[in-house]
């Protein structure tokens, strides 16, 4: 029998897909109020990897990633996803979302996204939330897996996470 050990805390981040700058400004304020201080955000990136959100949110979509400033326990990802789902619902108009917020965490060994959708590579965490193993750290950097979303597998996004991992590593020291 192994000894039970609580793993090291992690850094929370969120992917935000949105359709206008006013909405984004409001979302960032809400996220800081409900989840925590945002320590960094990326430049906006045109979101063109799928048309999954276009019927609901429009054709011209953008994405940014935000990094939260404090380390948290891994199991807070469940509560964070429940909060971001509530934010999405609160900001919806006529039953259509204006934003998609997908939280996740950065650990030394992997990137985990929170989702409400089950799939073969996702692990149930509780309260209707699954953990999606998105990237793994191997041979000096995060690497995608066969099921990693194509945008998360792109070198531009992976480089953001590799940089954030180094920041996280310094916070753990």
pLDDT, tens only, 102-141: 999 999 999 999 999 999 999 999 999 999 999 999 999 9
19 within some domain: yes
41 within some domain: yes
Taking Cα atoms as reference points, which of 138, 139, 121 lies closest to residue 130?
A: 121
Q: List the structure tokens of 149.
A: 């979303």
146 within some domain: yes
Q: What is the pLDDT of residue 22?
A: 87
pLDDT-derived band at 65 (thresholds 50, 70, 90) equals: very high
2 within some domain: no
16 within some domain: yes
30 within some domain: yes
What global pTM score does this model have? 0.94
Q: List the structure tokens of 131.
A: 């953990």
Question: Which residue range(s) make up the domain with 111?
Answer: 10-172
Structural domains in the chain (count)? 1
119 within some domain: yes
Q: List the structure tokens of 48.
A: 């063109």
């Amino acid at each position: 029998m192994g000894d039970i050990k609580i793993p090291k805390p992690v850094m929370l981040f969120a992917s935000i897909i949105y359709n206008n700058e006013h909405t984004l400004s409001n979302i960032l304020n809400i996220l800081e109020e409900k989840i925590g201080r945002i320590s960094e955000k990326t430049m906006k990136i045109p979101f063109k990897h799928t048309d999954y959100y276009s019927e609901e949110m429009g054709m011209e979509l953008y994405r940014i990633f935000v990094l939260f400033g404090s380390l948290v326990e891994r199991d807070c990802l469940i509560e964070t996803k429940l909060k971001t789902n509530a934010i999405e619902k609160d900001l919806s108009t006529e039953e259509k979302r204006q934003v998609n917020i997908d939280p996740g965490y950065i650990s030394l060994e992997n990137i985990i996204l929170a989702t409400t959708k089950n799939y073969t590579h996702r692990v149930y965490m509780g309260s209707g939330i699954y953990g999606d193993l998105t990237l793994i750290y191997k041979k000096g950097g995060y690497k995608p897996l066969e099921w990693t979303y194509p945008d998360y597998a792109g070198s531009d996004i992976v480089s953001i996470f590799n940089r954030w991992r180094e920041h996280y590593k310094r916070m753990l020291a």
